[in-house]
Chain A
Amino acid sequence: MSDELRELYQEVILEHGKNPRNFHASDDATNEARGNNPLCGDQLVIYLTLDGDGRVADVSFLGKGCAICIASASMMTELLKGRSREEAQTLFEAFHDMCTGEENGHELPDDVDKLRVLSGVREFPTRVKCATLPWHTMVAALQGEDVISTE
């Protein structure tokens, strides 16, 4: 098996893919959005609960998708709690650039270093959207949009 494949499907990713964290709906969610990747059929819903200061009090998700998509969503939910809207948006941009390999000056902060395990998607252009779909959906939820679709 190729090194790139081993790099893409690291243990952590496979584990999150099999046992996603925060994998449930939420009745208390203040913001909710649905994300679709029509190309491969990935579908998920992100539930965000924002507190009075606009910080993420809780975040969870449900959905069907490939290992990359589910693992990315799972890891995202672990890292968002307690962050402000602006911080969440900044994290999205840094994560997006890491996945696409674009250099726009958004660096992943050290406290979310574990997201780097997903950087292997860079070698797989068709899979970048799988990793970024949960993040795009989260941003849509923050902005009060219901549905987003990546193609």
Chain B
Amino acid sequence: MTTPTTAQAGTPAYDIDAIRADFPILGRTMHDKPLTFLDSAASAQKPRQVIDAISTAYETEYANVHRGLYQISEAVTARFEGTRETIRQYINAAHTHEIIFTRNATESINLVAYSFGRKFLGEGDEVVITELEHHSNIVPWQMLRDEKGIVLKVAPVSDDGELIMPAFEALLGPKTKLVAVAHMSNVMGTILPVEDIIRRAHAVGAKVLLDGCQSVTHIPVDVQALGCDFYVFSGHKLYGPSGIGVLYGREELLDAMPPFMGGGDMISSVTFEKSTWAKLPHKFEAGTPAIVQAIGLGAAIDYVNSIGLDAIGAHEADLLNYATQKLSSVEGLRIIGTAPHKASVVSFTLDFAHPHDIATIIDRAGVAVRAGHHCAQPLMERMDVPATVRASIGLYNNRSDIDALVAALAEVQELFG
């Protein structure tokens, strides 16, 4: 896996103005100010190419998939299934049928907890997570704990926001059945040492689920080289539409897992006595899927590929450096999450104003950030902050965006300082 390299300061990795022109929303204003969008970690904006792919699908090629025996249905089925192949290549899975469509990462994790968890985990079996997980990688395991009596263990993070590896290793043992961790923190940007995590988890016979929601937009991912057993992400953070997410699972595991939901599309045959399941991936895709959303996600990945994740990584690393420097010079500002290995996210607090007040004030300057606990309340407690302001960087951000944020913070200082 490649680490994003820092571009020479000021040397753009690509023509950022041309890229920005692909995103219609970046042309609008917010409170009569040019829009400064620094909330891509929550959900990214969509390029014209994705919007067009969606409208073209509805205008020229829409029907249900896997059913109709007519030209349009066959064409849309081919496009839909083509996206599965696009995703396979994007994360380098071994087989196209290892790519399961879901609504979002949350559903993907729940699918694993429900299907894999209920079948293969029992009383006393252990699932290891970390302190920096998103609620969607905490709550499904708590539900499984309450139902099946599994034990949930939580690996600590340091004051810098890094996973403390010796403490993580100490949690692993013969009872560890699953390690479920974020590849990259949505609050602090920390990139976790997943190669190491996977190696150690596999050494005790545990399976590994990576929550790739944040990493999938910034870092090239090769699930085979990593050797992870499950990898999940949401389309909407990857410049695609909402309503479509992905579960990657190794064939052998997916084959052994029972269906998550029953219904149409997931069966091979149905009688009132007995039904048999369809083959992968359809076994896990009951009902009419998010057809056009999947096609939109395919277009989004094509778009990201056309720029290249290496170039995106370099551009964003340069911007993250710039943002970190600029923000560090703001009086009273504390950055939460200072791991050496991080990407595209800066969380911070100001010692004179609450994050919620900050967000309201800078919103009026046209700056969109997120303020709150970022669906990571346990991490907030660990870092001893009630909430943070989070500025997150997407492939379309530029230095002017960071300058606008810093200028807007001066207004907060003016009121509260």
Contact = CB atoms under 8 A, between A and B. Distances in A.
Interface of A: 1-2, 4-5, 8-9, 14, 38-43, 64-68, 124, 126-127, 130
Given A68-B357, A130-B356, 13 more contacts: A1-B361, A1-B411, A38-B373, A39-B372, A40-B355, A41-B355, A42-B356, A42-B386, A65-B354, A65-B356, A66-B354, A67-B357, A124-B360
Listed from nearest, the 8 A-B pairs whose CB atoms lie closest are A66-B356, A66-B354, A41-B387, A40-B356, A41-B386, A64-B386, A66-B357, A41-B373
A148 B360 CA distance: 24
Contact of A126 (B31, B360, B364): B360
Interface of B: 31, 353-357, 360-361, 364, 371-373, 377, 380, 386-387, 411, 414-416
B386 A43 contact: yes
B414 A127 contact: no
A5 B361 contact: yes
Nearest to B408: A1
B204 to A, nearest CB: 36
B364 to A, nearest CB: 5
Contact of A9 (B355, B371, B415): B415
Nearest to B32: A2
A127 B415 CA distance: 17
Given A40-B387, A41-B387, A4 B364 contact: yes
B415 A1 contact: yes
A2 B411 CA distance: 10
B364 A2 contact: yes
Contacts of A68: 356-357
Contacts of B380: 41
Contacts of B357: 9, 66-68
A32 B100 CA distance: 49
Contact of A14 (B31, B355, B415): B415
Contacts of A43: 386
B360 A2 contact: no
Contacts of A38: 373
27 contacts: A1-B361, A1-B415, A5-B360, A5-B361, A9-B361, A9-B415, A14-B415, A38-B373, A40-B371, A40-B372, A41-B372, A41-B377, A41-B380, A42-B356, A43-B386, A64-B386, A65-B354, A66-B354, A66-B355, A67-B353, A67-B357, A68-B356, A68-B357, A124-B360, A126-B360, A127-B360, A130-B356
A97 to B, nearest CB: 22
A99 to B, nearest CB: 15
A5 B412 CA distance: 10
Nearest to A124: B360
Nearest to B353: A67
B411 A67 contact: no
A5 B364 contact: yes
A4 B31 CA distance: 11
B288 to A, nearest CB: 31
Nearest to A2: B364
Nearest to B358: A66
Given A5-B364, A40-B387, A67 B416 contact: yes
A9 B414 CA distance: 11
Contacts of B31: 2
A4 B363 CA distance: 12
B351 to A, nearest CB: 12
A126 B370 CA distance: 13
Contacts of B373: 38, 40-41
A14 B416 contact: yes
A1 B416 CA distance: 13
Contacts of B377: 41
Contacts of B355: 40-41, 66
Nearest to B388: A41
A44 to B, nearest CB: 11
Contacts of A1: 361, 364, 411, 414-415
B356 A8 contact: no
B386 A67 contact: no
A118 to B, nearest CB: 14
A8 B415 CA distance: 11
A9 B373 CA distance: 23
Nearest to A4: B364
Nearest to A70: B354
Nearest to B387: A41
Nearest to A126: B360
